[in-house]
Amino acid sequence: MANSFVRYTGNGSTSTYSIPFSYRSTADLSATVAGVNTTFSLNAAGTTLTFASPPANLAAVEIRRKTSQTSRLTDYASGSVLTESDLDTDSTQAFMMSQEAIDSADDVIKISNTDFQYDATSKQIRNVTDPTSAQDVATKAYTDSILTTNTTAVSNATAQANAAAASATAAASSQSAASTSASTASTQATAAANSATQAANSASSATVTTGLVIAMAIAL
């Protein structure tokens, strides 16, 4: 747990939050809701903080201590009486600033000791620029644009493949129809030839019969 800040998630109904760390002065405290500095009030003990209205559901709530880093709280002077209060004030300022610095250092992406790779601890990384080199991290917008481009290309290729398949099917159907027509024509030609042969045979038979009749008539 951090020594100089605490984080909560709003639920739309809770206005009061605990302050689990110590602080020197109320002026050192700040509270943000969704990243915006928000006014608050403290209880008599200074251990709980209350907002005028409850932070919205899922809003990020942070209460942080920031000890003065621009001026020393104790100014020693030659010949002055050194008191416990002066020493405590000076020590407290240095101690709290050290805690805040450590908390800030701990609150960044670090290398995991498991495999020596950076670990974002399941948090999003925002405000990343688009990649320019092969091994750069890619943003969601960049990958979405690549996916859209690839999807369009795949869609076009699929449409062309479907059109080619349809043309092939139509050509196969035409070829089948032509083959069927050729087969029918061949069958009809064969039938016609057979009919011609039969007609010739019938004519020949008729000629022979006529000859016999004439011969018999002459004989009589």
Domain residue ranges in the chain = 5-73+81-106
Report whether pLDDT(191) > 80: no
* Separation of alpha carbons 10 and 51, rounded Å: 11
The residue with greater pLDDT, 153 or 119, is 119
Q: pLDDT tens digit string along 61-74?
A: 999 999 988 888 88
Report whether pLDDT(213) > 60: no
Report whether pLDDT(199) > 80: no
Q: Within its chain, how far is the Cα of 34 from the centroid?
A: 24
Nearest to 24 by CA among 107, 103, 100, 104: 100
> H or E segment at 64?
strand 60-65
Nearest to 62 by CA among 46, 49, 43: 49
pLDDT for position 172? 76
Q: What is the DSSP string of 21-63?
A: S--S-GGGEEEEETTEE--EEE-TTS-EEEESSPPPTT-EEEE
Taking residues 203-216, report their average pLDDT.
62
- Select, from the ranges 10-19, 67-76, 119-128, the one with the highest average predicted confidence (pLDDT): 10-19
Taking residues 34-57, report their average pLDDT.
97
Q: What is the pTM for the complete model shown?
A: 0.61
- Give the list of residues 6+ apart from residue 112 with CB closer than 8 angstroms, or none: 118, 119
Q: Provide the residue type at 29 as one letter.
A: L
> H or E segment at 129?
none
